[in-house]
Amino acid sequence: MLRSFVIGLLTVITISTAMAQNLVVIKARKDLLGDMGDAAKQPGQMMKQEIPFDADTVKASLDVFIAKASKLPELFPEDSKSGGKTEALPALWNNKDDVTSRFKKLVEAAKAAKDNVTDEFDFMDTWPKVVGNCGGCHKKYRAEKK
């Protein structure tokens, strides 16, 4: 009886530890993705001409994309498929190479845009190419927000 209790307790501790690790990873990736979403807000308003174009703001946003997207591929380990209100769809786990390559493309596009955005016309041409990388991944691998 004591042996069954100890085995049960160890199982609960192991599962709890694994879940806690999942939650840490899920929170980390959600934080990075949230930071990228926040960074896209002002340039998005500039695209809609709701606020004036500001190259420094755009470049700062691109810096956020570069820094955060380069960290994301490591934040989708197999043990983080569920929990923490993850919005990652099951398709992501079957196509991790595609997801990783999409983050790399986003970083490359953001770096290229940062070097090329010198005025509003360049911005209007370049920004959609950068954020198109985000939308493509969201449509395929992220659950719709309710």
| pLDDT tens digits along 56-88 | 999 999 999 999 999 999 999 988 888 888 888
- The 10 Å CB-count burial string (b at 16+, else e) for 16-35 is eeeeeebeebbbbbbebbee
Task: Provide the pLDDT confidence category of residue 29 given band limits of 50, 70 and 90.
Answer: very high
| Cβ–Cβ under 8 Å, residues 123 and 117 | yes
Domain ranges of the chain: 2-141
pLDDT for residue 145 is more than 80:
no
| Cβ–Cβ under 8 Å, residues 124 and 47 | yes
The encoded tokens of residue 102 equal 């999409």
CATH number for the domain running over 2-141: 1.20.120.10
| Cβ–Cβ under 8 Å, residues 41 and 74 | no
What pLDDT digit, counting tens, does each position of 123-142 carry? 999 999 999 999 888 889 99
What's the mean pLDDT in 1-30?
60
| Cβ–Cβ under 8 Å, residues 58 and 70 | no
Using a 10 angstrom Cβ sphere, with 0-12 exposed, 13-18 middle and 19 or more buried, the burial of residue 124 is middle
- Of the chain, the percentage scoring pLDDT greater than 90 comes to 65
What pLDDT is stored for residue 4 in this prediction? Answer: 56
